[in-house]
Structure 1
Amino acid sequence: MSCEHLICANCAGPVVEGRCPACRASRARVHHHGLGGLSPLLIAAVLLIVLGCTLALSHLYGA
């Protein structure tokens, strides 16, 4: 879902601009993010990098 076309009932402004606390809360609810506000894509990239480093180290040390 996108908040591009939503209009806030509190301030009558576009929700995407986040003019008032109600807009910001609605925008945050629509665009819920992963752990600690990080995007799921960023979390997946970090996990892949950690996995790659782990595999490289296990290959290097022959474990």
Structure 2
Amino acid sequence: MTCDHLVCANCAGRVSEGRCPVCRAHRARMQEQQQGLFGSLTPAALLALLAGLFAVALICRQALA
């Protein structure tokens, strides 16, 4: 989720605009989270990665059996 879709409960403005200290603090917190290893991946990309890892595990299991 991005800040563009969030509405601040304090000032009723978009969080991305940063009108009040609450907006600015939340926007900074979200930017920190997005800089992590998997923060920029979408849920669909994470699901595809998980499915790929599962497929590799099944192939390895069949090869070693």
Give the TM-score category using the shorter length. Answer: 0.3 to 0.5
TM-score by length of 2: 0.43
Higher relative contact order (CA 8 A, sep 6+): 1
Task: Tell which structure's C-alpha radius of gyration is larger.
Answer: 1
TM-score by length of 1: 0.44
